[in-house]
Amino acid sequence: MKKKIITYSLLFILLSQTSCNLLFYSTKNTFKKNARELPYDVIIVPGYPYDGKQWNKVIKMRVVWAKYLYDNGYAKNIIFSGSAVYTPYIESRIFKAFAIAKGVPNEIIFTEERARHSVENIYYSYQIAKEKGFKKIALATDPFQTNNTRKFIKKYELEINLLPILMDTLFKLDRTEPQINPNTAKIDNFISITESESLFKRLSGTFGKQIIWKEEDLKKKRLKKKLKQ
């Protein structure tokens, strides 16, 4: 029994490492392929909950990567996306505040403050990008979120390329925490999504079932038909 447990544990570790290696290999290829089309008019950066205290790892890597892409000519503008979902801080505003504190110009940053799920981050930011007249659009986030959302982009044929975070590049960048005033992004009378929505409804949102689509963005007839029902 003990040998079986050890064997299964080693197998799990091996599969996990293999999966991660494949993901990061795929990430490099994806970035290299889409970087050929630079500069992008805008990159979309999904938000992440902020607790009012910490410059956590996810916020750090997404903001630092967005700055890297702007500083190095990959993108002309940035859309940070995310509402106040799990904490009373509007995620996109927190990201914007951190980016400005790190030296990104205020005038090239836009915020999308409606999204409560990753796929909503993408679609509602895509709407803003089109309204602003941006043609070349890319999603810039961590490899795992990129991998989890690429099917959504492909399914709905959204004109969005992928510029995922290259971890080896990220680790060479300045990731020191800047000082911000988070209260500018804080809302009153906040209710967490865990209290306002059931688990089933939150899951439906994760799969894009709560998105309010514009018919013009649905290229497939069956999707348009489903929207009208």
Residue 24 placed within a domain: no
Residue 5 lies in a domain: no
Please, are residues 210 and 193 in contact by the beta-carbon 8 Å criterion?
Answer: no
Q: Is residue 22 part of a domain?
A: no
pLDDT at 229: 57
Q: Does residue 7 lie within any of the structural domains?
A: no
- The two tokens of residue 109 are 């940053």
Question: Is the per-residue pLDDT at 219 higher than 90?
Answer: no
Give me the CATH number covering residue 45.
Answer: 3.40.50.620
Q: What is the pLDDT of residue 10?
A: 35
Q: How far is CA 93 from the centre of its chain?
A: 14
Q: What is the pTM of this model?
A: 0.88
What pLDDT sits at residue 223?
77
Q: Examine the pLDDT at 77 and tell me if it is beyond 90.
A: yes
- Residue-level pLDDT at 4: 44
What is the rounded distance in angstroms from the CA atom of residue 162 to the CA atom of residue 191? 33
Q: What angle do CA 93, 95, 100 make, to 5 degrees?
A: 95
Q: Phi, psi at residue 51, to the nearest 5°?
A: -95, 5
What are 161-192's pLDDT values in tens digits? Answer: 999 999 999 999 999 999 999 999 999 999 99
Mean pLDDT of the chain: 89
Per the domain annotation, does 56 fall within a domain? yes
Mean pLDDT (whole number) for 82-97: 98
The domain tally of the chain equals: 1
Residue 192 in any domain: the answer is: yes
pLDDT at residue number 9:
43
The C-alpha atoms of residue 192 and residue 197 are separated, in whole angstroms, by: 9
Domain that holds residue 134: 29-228
Q: Is 162 helix (H, G, I), strand (E, B) or coil?
A: strand
User: Is 2 inside a domain boundary?
Assistant: no
Residue 146 has pLDDT above 70, yes or no: yes
Identify whether 39 is preceded by a cis peptide bond (ω within 30 of 0). Answer: yes
Spatial separation of the C-alpha atoms in residues 183 and 185, rounded to whole Å: 5
Residue 204 lies in a domain: yes
